[in-house]
């Protein structure tokens, strides 16, 4: 639309600016709080300019951890979160692309049924099936393991659907050309489908990495050891302490650290991400 109405433009910017403030201010506060010592935060007169405790806070948080609640260095938690998020993202891409390949390109009995069964899992996120899932994971002895953290979250249909939609847009002639060129199903998958799916994979990776990183309920349930807890759980443990003062500077530093990897993933992959969602390369 080509328009030139200064007032409208001004209003649009105003609304956007207010929106940005509303979203950004708490984040700014968290970043700010991570640069002060505990006393300054607690007395309620925290200035709106950064303090001088940043180096100290970050060092302590990453390598030592809170002294009165979880005691686990946040570095470990970040590694746990990272392993979980990466595991979920890559595992899901792997499972999804294979299942979509099967559903789209192979005519096997009950193919439609298989697809619908996968589809229905969209209505069954972990929160809904939490008890049976917990029971299975516990019986398999997977509590407090990375496998236990990752596996149950991999099983869902979003990725399969995304890849299926993408595969449907690939012209059949490409498959036929591959057949004539002497490529079997696996070669077609490896040489044609996977390279063409790179942007879709990137989109799925971004979504799933953030999904995995932000998981709360599931890790809360199945991790009991501090050494296995994820950073999101860590924040929660630091804030709700029984008989000690909350170490706000550590909690806030942890919160800031927890925000960084998803932001990094989005920034690094946003070009591919957008391409994967809107563009079909032919």
Partner 1 sequence: MAEVTLTNVRKVYAGNVEAVKGVDIAVPDGGFCVLVGPSGCGKSTLLRMIAGLETITSGEIRIGDRVVNEIEPADRDIAMVFQNYALYPHMSVYDNMAYGLRNRKTPKDEIDRRVAEAARILAIEPFLQRKPRQLSGGQRQRVAMGRAIVRKPQVFLFDEPLSNLDAKLRVQMRVEIKKLQRALGVTSVYVTHDQVEAMTLSDKLVVMNGGLVEQVGVPNEVYRRPASRFVATFIGSPPMNIVPGTVEAGGRIAVAGRSIPATDLAPGIAPGTAVDVGLRPEDLEHGAADGIALPVDFVEELGAHQLFHGRLGDVEMVVQAPTGDVSHELKTLSLAIDPAKVHVFDRETGRRLGRD
- With beta carbons less than 8 A apart as the criterion, state whether 62 and 260 touch: no
Interaction of residue 155 with partner 1, rule CB under 8 A:
no
- With beta carbons less than 8 A apart as the criterion, state whether 113 and 225 touch: no
- For 101, 179, 233, 246, the CA distances from 67, given in Å and listed in that order, are 50, 63, 16, 10
Residue closer to partner 1 (CB basis): 144 or 281: 281
Interaction of residue 177 with partner 1, rule CB under 8 A:
yes
213 Cβ neighbours under 8 A, 6+ residues apart: 81, 82, 84, 85, 232, 258, 261, 262
List % helix, strand, coil for the chain (3-state, nearest 5): 75, 0, 25
Closest Cα partner for 220 from 81, 91, 66?
81
Instruction: Report d(CA 245, CA 248) in Å as an integer.
Output: 9
In whole angstroms, the minimum distance from the beta carbon of 186 to partner 1 comes to 12
Nearest-10 Cα torsion for 57, 60, 63, 67: -130
Interaction of residue 174 with partner 1, rule CB under 8 A:
yes
Interaction of residue 127 with partner 1, rule CB under 8 A:
no
In whole angstroms, the minimum distance from the beta carbon of 165 to partner 1 comes to 17
In whole angstroms, the minimum distance from the beta carbon of 272 to partner 1 comes to 14
In whole angstroms, the minimum distance from the beta carbon of 167 to partner 1 comes to 14
In whole angstroms, the minimum distance from the beta carbon of 202 to partner 1 comes to 14
In whole angstroms, the minimum distance from the beta carbon of 53 to partner 1 comes to 51
Interaction of residue 183 with partner 1, rule CB under 8 A:
yes
Interaction of residue 158 with partner 1, rule CB under 8 A:
no
Instruction: Report d(CA 126, CA 192) in Å as an integer.
Output: 34
Where are any strands of DSSP class E within the chain? none
| Residue span 196-215 as binding mask against partner 1, x where in contact by CB under 8 A, dash where not | x-------------------
Residue closer to partner 1 (CB basis): 56 or 191: 191
Where are any strands of DSSP class E within 113-222? none
Among the candidate windows 32-40, 183-191, 202-210, 218-226, which touches partner 1 by CB under 8 A? 183-191
Site for partner 1 in 262-281 (CB under 8 A): 281
Report the residue from 2, 107, 180, 267 that binds partner 1 according to the rule CB under 8 A: 180
Q: Please report, as ranges, the residues that interact with partner 1 according to CB under 8 A.
A: 171, 173-174, 176-177, 179-183, 187, 191-192, 195-196, 281-282
């Amino acid at each position: 639309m080509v328009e030139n109405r200064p007032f409208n433009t001004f209003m649009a910017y105003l609304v956007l600016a207010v929106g940005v403030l509303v979203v950004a201010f708490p984040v700014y506060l968290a970043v700010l709080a991570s640069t002060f010592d505990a006393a300054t935060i607690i007395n309620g007169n925290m200035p709106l300019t950064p303090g001088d405790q940043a180096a100290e806070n970050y060092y302590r948080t990453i390598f030592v951890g809170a002294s009165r609640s979880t005691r686990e260095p946040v570095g470990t938690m970040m590694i746990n979160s990272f392993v979980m998020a990466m595991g979920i993202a890559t595992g899901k891409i792997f499972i999804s692309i294979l299942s979509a390949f099967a559903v789209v390109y192979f005519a096997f009995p009950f193919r439609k049924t298989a697809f619908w069964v996968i589809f229905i899992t969209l209505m069954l996120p972990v929160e809904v099936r939490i008890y049976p899932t917990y029971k299975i994971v516990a019986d398999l002895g997977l509590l407090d393991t990375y496998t236990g953290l990752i596996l149950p979250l991999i099983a869902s249909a979003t990725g399969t659907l995304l890849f299926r939609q993408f595969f449907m847009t690939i012209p059949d002639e490409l498959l036929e050309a591959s057949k004539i060129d002497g490529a079997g199903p696996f070669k077609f998958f490896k040489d044609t489908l996977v390279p063409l799916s790179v942007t879709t994979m990137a989109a799925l990776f971004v979504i799933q990495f953030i999904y995995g990183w932000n998981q709360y309920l599931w890790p809360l349930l199945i991790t009991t050891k501090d050494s296995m807890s994820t950073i999101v759980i860590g924040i929660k443990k630091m804030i709700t302490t029984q008989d000690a003062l909350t170490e706000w500077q550590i909690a806030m530093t942890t919160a800031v650290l927890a925000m960084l990897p998803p932001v990094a993933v989005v920034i690094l992959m946003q070009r591919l991400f957008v391409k994967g969602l809107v563009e079909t390369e032919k």
